[in-house]
Structure 1
Amino acid sequence: MGYKETLLMPKTEFPMRGNLPKREPEMQQKWEQENIYEKVQTRTEGRPLFVLHDGPPYANGDLHMGHALNKVLKDFIVRYKSMSGYHAPYVPGWDTHGLPIEVALTKKKKIDRKSLSVAEFRELCKEYALEQIDNQREQFKQLGVRGDWDNPYITLTKDYEAAQIKVFGEMANRGYIYKGLKPVYWSPSSESALAEAEIEYKDKRSPSIYVAFDVKDGKGVLTGDEKFIIWTTTPWTIPANLAIAVHPALEYAVVNVKGEKFIVAADLVEQVSSVLEWDEKTVEKTYKGSELERVVASHPFYDRESLVILGEHVTTEAGTGCVHTAPGHGEDDFWVGKEYDLGVLCPVDEKGKFTAEAPGFEGQFYDKANKEITEKLESVGALLKLEFITHSYPHDWRTKKPTIFRATSQWFASIKDFRETILEEIRNVNWIPEWGETRLYNMVKDREDWCISRQRVWGLPIPVFYGENGEPIITEETVEHVSKLFREHGSNIWFEKEAKELLPEGFTHPSSPNGKFTKETDIMDVWFDSGSSHQGVLVERPELQRPADMYLEGSDQYRGWFNSSLSTSVAVTGKAPYKSVLSHGFVNDGEGRKMSKSIGNVIVPSKIMKQFGGDILRLWVASVDYQSDVRISDDILKQVAEVYRKVRNTFRFLLGNLHDFDPNTDSVSEENLEEVDRYMLARLQQLTSKVRNAYDTYEFSVIYHSVHNFCTIDLSSFYLDFAKDILYIEAKDDKRRRSIQTVYYEMLTSLTKLLSPILSHTTDEVWSYIPGVEEESVQLTDMPEPKTVKDADELLVKWNHFMAVRDDVLKALEEARNEKVIGKSLESRVIVVPKDKKTAQLLNEFTHLHQYFIVSAVEVAENHAEAKEYEHVDVFVEKHPGEKCQRCWVVSDTVGEQHEELCNRCASIVETHYA
């Protein structure tokens, strides 16, 4: 028999290489076949409920890295909660209405909308959305995200739409819904109104003009030969000008420039003089803004008056202090115009083209008309200055095109009516990070109204009828009836039937004495769709509850889903729909740049999964500080893959050395464990406590770094390394060997459970190789609880001191190796000279120092010098003079005593167990 056959080398079929892109789909198929989601729910039924409510991604296109970051974070939390005392069902969802699907059909699929009825087109939209859901669902599954994928919530389903109608009806019943003419964000590219949540700001180059308005009637205050100067970056709004606003408390100066008199805010005279290049100027007189009220100026090129009015919104931060006012194109303009009964002029249609109300510019697109309007101003002598500036400007977040303010008749939710309750509820929510509270609070505190109507067809109809006199009809009876119709037939019935057929049988209303009714054609804002999910999902789904324990989305959702959900929930229940809100940042490339097709720096999850596997992507999510913007690149993923390799190798080593271990018969009780094993058991409890706490506080990067350090420093560099001389060399049932295996088993099962929420595929694979486990999946187990190890504090102090000494020894061995004194560390004999009494006392207590240092012999010498405590040791390394044992490779003076090639230890083992 060769010596190799007498060694107890590691044995395991657990593969060294993860081969994740191939192995993970097999694992996912197994989960599906075994209904692992249902088994988890059955196991945890009856426990306290934890509901993480899924914010619905939009059903269009493949997943991007933001999707992956978001869903994996949610999966970490749900999996952990299911393993730590909670019942945590997870119902994924999709947002399915809105413009992008309409655009995809008309542009990508070349659907001719004009050849179809509204109902037919909507049916195609629905089919497309469901196709997109199937595509995205498969990609989410590939990430290892566990959920009720067969029964997701979808905003286009009958039940969801019926529930959403109820939310609208309850808000209307409480008086929060009204129709009004107001300027709203309008997207000419979408031909629809937009909510603030649908606006994003990007730089835009705009003309910046200074325009003179002649005074027509000074009202006894001005002489009548003055000119007010306004400044604007939207020349296209000049045709809609009805007034000039000044601040009542500001001083306004009449500035004489070569005989012409101009009026600007006194504080801005020097600034305006510089811009308009006034070399010679004289301030003739000043007036309080309040004195100029109702002075009449003339429109620069229309035969129309422009009234001077007072407005608190006027500032001296930019411009002239005299504000061009077009109530049809600005919110401040609208409200101040209402005070002065100016009326609302909006000469721009839904496509952004001028109407007949702007003579001379009819049919022109507003942005292109800037040039002609500027030329017109110049021709009449009203243009004082034209230049171009680049500034931040609102854009439609879907089409990426500029928006305008445009006064139209829209449906609004009056946020101001219940704003104080919203603000109070914001204070009651747990925000992670804490600044989320301030961010949302500031968004809500000045919010007046939410424009909830859209001029599109792919969405939920606004369930309003009109009488013969045009009066809107929203009653509990009509809303309830429409909700029932939608629950039975779906919302397409609204477009298939006449108004009379959609009303309750025999319905009458004073506004329609002849019984004739029409119906609203606008649809609801998609944020109202997803914002109603607290009713459509948390209340409608029996396994969930409102409020949810957590909403978790990207930081852009403070203005989106967090906001709309809070508004609708407070409106109908008086309470927030969530107890806590956790937000994450955006995913950028390795250099911190936003991902862009034009730059060519886009990384997509599908590519990562094909190249590295889902668990590498999941481990990357655990590695980053996700509450800020995060970075990803091939180099970063390779670093993460290297960490994964070390963790996988740790699992494999532990498995390999438990091949002959039965936890039921071979385990050693704690009091009989070797001291080093009890120390490592204590270190495991420290790790368990730290990891559990990190999960509880959603600090996943702490888990990543802690486990990595444990595997590389505590295990690979120490415990797994020195133990080879015992595990491989000693007899199978040797006490020290079984002691190590007992702790290895505890480490293996604990690490597998602790990492299960993160490395969902790998840990399930590991679990299938662990001897003696009963559960078919690690997902059907609970997290390890930190255990109390006897005398743990004393053990940790003692062994941490020893580990510091060991570091000194390893450093000395490395230096000796570099100086060619030794080759491998087992060739060495080490003399350790303690430099303080505590270290001397410590080392003299150890009986296996040569194994812990992985050398062949250790001598602890006495040092008579005085030294401070914890200065550790001096280390001297020399080549051991003995012979190398051919079985254990230790250099020993005993080789040849009992056996010509073996040391006495190995000779005894071979003779006793293998003879």
Structure 2
Amino acid sequence: MAAKKAAEGAKQEDGKYKHTVDLPKTSFGLRANSVMREPELQKLWEENQVLKRVSERNTGATFTLHDGPPYANGDLHMGHALNKVLKDIINRQLLQNHKVSFIPGWDCHGLPIELKVLKSMDKATLNALTPIKLRQKAAKFAKVTVNAQMNSFKRIGIWADWDSPYLTLSPEYEAAQLEVFGQMVMRGYIYRGRKPVHWSPSSRTALAEAELEYSENHVSKSIYAAFKVTSPSSSGLLDEFLPNVCLAIWTTTPWTIPANAAVAVNPELSYAVVELQSVLESESTSGGKQQKLGSILSSGIEKPFIIVASDLVSVLESKWGVKLVIRKSFPGSVLEHCRYLHPVNGNECSVVIGGDYITTESGTGLVHTAPGHGQEDYLTGLKYGLPIVSPVDDEGNFTAEAGQFSGLSVLGAGNAAVVKYLDEHVSLILEEPYKHKYPYDWRSKEPTIFRATEQWFASVDGFRDAALDAIKRVTWVPSQGENRIVNMISGRSDWCISRQRTWGVPIPVFYHVDTQEPLITEETIEHIKAIVSDKGSDAWWYMKTEELLPDKYRDKASEYRKGTDTMDVWFDSGSSWAAVSAKRDGLNFPADVYLEGSDQHRGWFQSSLLTSIATKQERLHIPVLLPTVLYWTKTV
């Protein structure tokens, strides 16, 4: 009891001078108490519309930071947070004297959302699925995800016009996108052609460069093979080596050999006929490197002769483990117009052609050319009128056109079967694994192939110079961003904008049922744009052809069918300047700032640039500028 009284006395003693100290009084809580305070602050910001009220009160110029749309296919991650916080910092700083409008956006179409929806269904539902049902489910999923992401952005404290976001699935946005597409059609920048594109067997659709990611650890089955010469050129330099002389090629895609149409050589390089003599004793020929000496090296041919680039003789001698003796040297031009047996079908229809892009950095200096399976091969094929053969279906399997390989996966059993066939028919020199950089589908994470199909393209060549000129007039922060995008635009081939999927904005084209000729005119595009503006793009799937055609063509509706391709989602998001900045009141067009991660130099920055320049420039290539300032940040 005495201890208790002593403690009470000490407590009174401690507080007896309180009244002599004049301390400040505040209602500010000593604890964060975020569980209670965060919702209260968010409610305060939303109810008082802080961004709008402060912006309206300011007397300075209008400022627009155009929001690049995140994908509506999952919860937010740190990249989303970094992106929006950086934008919010800029907008808040400028609130000191500018009228700021920040319209948040979402990318809502495309394969990632379609795959999420498909994976959520059981087998019975999938079997009963129609395009319109899939689209309805995809739209519902996207809207739910947008709402979830929006609430998360609000919790972070981002100031934006959350009541009026832009969604790429909204009818008004889709109509604006079709307007951009139509203007590019009328300017002659959109065309349909059969050429090799990046194709994803796992997703069964064409892909653009921005939809690829490159694996540094991909291992291919590379081979050196020999194609037998049957008819040398008119010079007669090879006559003495017949009938045992072959052209040596190297490839990391043996599955493309059934589509071989030519072998390309550089006319300016030096080539040599080498005789294969004794096998060298080395680790490379004893299995130490997991290599396999091919049939041609053990065929028993008395004097097998191989043609390779002169500069590579010593390298190949070491790699093949065979003594190579040079018998004759000559320029590559001597080889042009030689004929050889096709390595698979045995026809004497293949020819040696010239190609100044060929070097001696790797391979043999002779390039197996299949115009249906490579960009350089395709361009070379056009120059020489070569056939564009591509015996591969949507799933990445050989078609009947590939003969005995029909039905086999080109990235699996088909590839191995081609190598085995070459070995059995005395055409294989060497087989070895080759680790290199290889394109993968960024969604399925599976390898892609180059495959020639009928697709819709935007001809970047038609407005490349204007785009490069516009890039110079943009302030890039940091400055090296300019070099990055210049290099990408300078070397870009035509943009493949068609996708073989259901969830997206349709390419508004009709095909004649007999000739397959496309019908796409200013009248048809305008008519479909008006329908989409009113009903949304679902109308393309549920309305009949005669309803989708304008009056001018309606009496011929039975002669046409509507196409099923949709647009690349980069075309969707790349049209946001037209659907948002150029349409909504209180926004600047061009926008003042675009701010995204560095990966968008090949994505949204680029698609926005290309669609803007292709539609807004005058015929004399007078560019309309994109943002006056363009920031990029390190991707998280």
Q: TM-score, normalised by structure 1?
A: 0.62
Counterparts of 2:421 and 2:39, CA distance in 1: 67
- Confirm or deny: 8 A CA contact 1:209 1:231 kept in the other structure: yes
- Confirm or deny: 8 A CA contact 2:257 2:344 kept in the other structure: no
Structure 1 unaligned residues grouped into runs of 5+ = 588-915
Q: Which residue of 2 aligns with 1:213?
A: 227
Structure 2 unaligned residues grouped into runs of 5+ = 1-14, 278-302, 618-623
Please list the CA deviations of residues 423-482 of structure 1 after superposition, one character each: whole Å capped at 9, or x if unmatched. 000000000110000000000012231000000010000011234533222222111111
Aligned-partner residue type, residue 234 of structure 1:
T
Counterparts of 2:492 and 2:144, CA distance in 1: 37
Match status 1:64 vs 2:77: yes
Q: Which residue of 2 aligns with 1:364?
A: 408
- Confirm or deny: 8 A CA contact 1:210 1:229 kept in the other structure: yes
CA shift for structure 1 position 131: 0.6
Q: The residue matched to 1:353 in structure 2 has which SS?
A: coil
Q: Which residue of 1 aligns with 2:272?
A: 253
Q: The residue matched to 2:629 in structure 1 has which SS?
A: strand
Q: Which residue of 2 aligns with 1:524?
A: 567
CA shift for structure 1 position 341: 1.2
- Confirm or deny: 8 A CA contact 1:113 1:121 kept in the other structure: no
Please list the CA deviations of residues 516-556 of structure 1 after superposition, one character each: whole Å capped at 9, or x if unmatched. 22222100000000000010111121121210000000110
> What pairs up with 1:452-851 in 2 under 5 angstroms?
452-467=497-512, 469-507=515-553, 516-574=559-617, 575-587=624-636
- Among 405, 430, 446, which residue is 2:450 paired with? 405
Q: Which residue of 2 aligns with 1:198?
A: 211
How many aligned residue pairs are there? 581
- Among 336, 346, 349, which residue is 2:380 paired with? 336
Q: Which residue of 2 aligns with 1:55?
A: 68
Aligned-partner residue type, residue 88 of structure 1:
V
Q: Which residue of 1 aligns with 2:288?
A: none
Q: Which residue of 2 aligns with 1:75?
A: 88
Please list the CA deviations of residues 234-262 of structure 1 after superposition, one character each: whole Å capped at 9, or x if unmatched. 11111111111111111111111122111
- Confirm or deny: 8 A CA contact 1:164 1:536 kept in the other structure: yes
Q: Which residue of 2 aligns with 1:642?
A: none
- Confirm or deny: 8 A CA contact 2:470 2:626 kept in the other structure: no
Q: The residue matched to 1:190 in structure 2 has which SS?
A: coil
Counterparts of 1:301 and 1:572, CA distance in 2: 47
Q: Which runs of 4+ in 1 moved over 6 A?
A: none
Q: TM-score, normalised by structure 2?
A: 0.89
Counterparts of 1:533 and 1:501, CA distance in 2: 28
Counterparts of 2:155 and 2:361, CA distance in 1: 53
Distance 1:110 1:557, change over 3 A: farther
CA shift for structure 1 position 286: 1.3
Please list the CA deviations of residues 729-782 of structure 1 after superposition, one character each: whole Å capped at 9, or x if unmatched. xxxxxxxxxxxxxxxxxxxxxxxxxxxxxxxxxxxxxxxxxxxxxxxxxxxxxx
Q: The residue matched to 2:319 in structure 1 has which SS?
A: helix
- Confirm or deny: 8 A CA contact 1:500 1:516 kept in the other structure: no
- Confirm or deny: 8 A CA contact 2:313 2:324 kept in the other structure: no
Query: Based on CA coordinates, which of the two structures has the bigger radius of gyration?
Result: 1
Counterparts of 1:506 and 1:317, CA distance in 2: 59
Q: The residue matched to 2:559 in structure 1 has which SS?
A: coil
Match status 1:272 vs 2:285: no
CA shift for structure 1 position 109: 3.9
> What pairs up with 1:157-172 in 2 under 5 angstroms?
157-172=170-185
Counterparts of 2:537 and 2:341, CA distance in 1: 51
Counterparts of 2:99 and 2:552, CA distance in 1: 48
- Among 357, 363, 367, which residue is 1:313 paired with? 357
CA shift for structure 1 position 515: 6.3
- Confirm or deny: 8 A CA contact 1:171 1:572 kept in the other structure: yes
CA shift for structure 1 position 21: 4.8
Counterparts of 1:515 and 1:382, CA distance in 2: 53
Counterparts of 1:100 and 1:360, CA distance in 2: 36
Q: Which residue of 1 aligns with 2:621?
A: none
Q: Which residue of 1 aligns with 2:18?
A: 4
Aligned-partner residue type, residue 452 of structure 1:
I
Counterparts of 1:396 and 1:255, CA distance in 2: 42
- Whose relative contact order is higher, 1 or 2, with alpha carbons under 8 Å and at least 6 apart? 2
Q: Which residue of 1 aligns with 2:5?
A: none
- Confirm or deny: 8 A CA contact 1:244 1:307 kept in the other structure: yes
Aligned-partner residue type, residue 104 of structure 1:
K
Counterparts of 2:361 and 2:378, CA distance in 1: 21
CA shift for structure 1 position 10: 3.6
Q: In proportion to residue count, which structure has more strand?
A: 2
- Confirm or deny: 8 A CA contact 2:570 2:603 kept in the other structure: yes
Counterparts of 2:459 and 2:127, CA distance in 1: 35
Aligned-partner residue type, residue 90 of structure 2:
I
Q: Which residue of 1 aligns with 2:328?
A: 285
CA shift for structure 1 position 2: 4.6
CA shift for structure 1 position 508: 6.7
- Among 29, 47, 51, which residue is 1:33 paired with? 47
- The worse-fitting range, judged by mean Cα deviation, of 266-275 and 295-304 is 295-304
CA shift for structure 1 position 284: 1.1
Counterparts of 2:127 and 2:387, CA distance in 1: 36
Please list the CA deviations of residues 46-99 of structure 1 after superposition, one character each: whole Å capped at 9, or x if unmatched. 53011000000000110111111001100111111112x111100000000011
Counterparts of 1:7 and 1:53, CA distance in 2: 54
- Among 111, 122, 139, which residue is 1:99 paired with? 111
Q: The residue matched to 2:230 in structure 1 has which SS?
A: strand
Counterparts of 2:481 and 2:602, CA distance in 1: 11
Counterparts of 1:502 and 1:62, CA distance in 2: 37
Q: Which residue of 2 aligns with 1:664?
A: none
- The worse-fitting range, judged by mean Cα deviation, of 31-40 and 260-269 is 31-40
Please list the CA deviations of residues 153-203 of structure 1 after superposition, one character each: whole Å capped at 9, or x if unmatched. 000000000000000000000000000010000000110000011111012
Q: Which residue of 1 aligns with 2:426?
A: 381
Distance 1:77 1:214, change over 3 A: same
Q: The residue matched to 2:350 in structure 1 has which SS?
A: strand
Q: Which residue of 1 aligns with 2:479?
A: 434
Q: The residue matched to 1:219 in structure 2 has which SS?
A: coil
Match status 1:350 vs 2:418: no
- Among 236, 239, 244, which residue is 2:258 paired with? 239
- Confirm or deny: 8 A CA contact 1:534 1:577 kept in the other structure: no
Please list the CA deviations of residues 634-680 of structure 1 after superposition, one character each: whole Å capped at 9, or x if unmatched. xxxxxxxxxxxxxxxxxxxxxxxxxxxxxxxxxxxxxxxxxxxxxxx
Q: The residue matched to 1:50 in structure 2 has which SS?
A: strand
Aligned-partner residue type, residue 576 of structure 1:
L
Aligned-partner residue type, residue 328 of structure 2:
K
Q: Which residue of 2 aligns with 1:20?
A: 34
- Among 150, 155, 162, which residue is 2:163 paired with? 150
Distance 1:21 1:315, change over 3 A: farther
Aligned-partner residue type, residue 99 of structure 2:
H
Distance 1:63 1:110, change over 3 A: farther
CA shift for structure 1 position 105: 1.1
Q: Which residue of 1 aligns with 2:132?
A: 119
Match status 1:136 vs 2:179: no
- Confirm or deny: 8 A CA contact 2:208 2:496 kept in the other structure: yes
Please list the CA deviations of residues 577-618 of structure 1 after superposition, one character each: whole Å capped at 9, or x if unmatched. 32211001123xxxxxxxxxxxxxxxxxxxxxxxxxxxxxxx
Q: The residue matched to 2:246 in structure 1 has which SS?
A: strand
Counterparts of 1:178 and 1:498, CA distance in 2: 25
- Confirm or deny: 8 A CA contact 2:274 2:326 kept in the other structure: yes
Aligned-partner residue type, residue 340 of structure 2:
A
What is the percentage of aligned positions where both structures have the same residue?
49
Aligned-partner residue type, residue 323 of structure 1:
V
CA shift for structure 1 position 367: 1.2
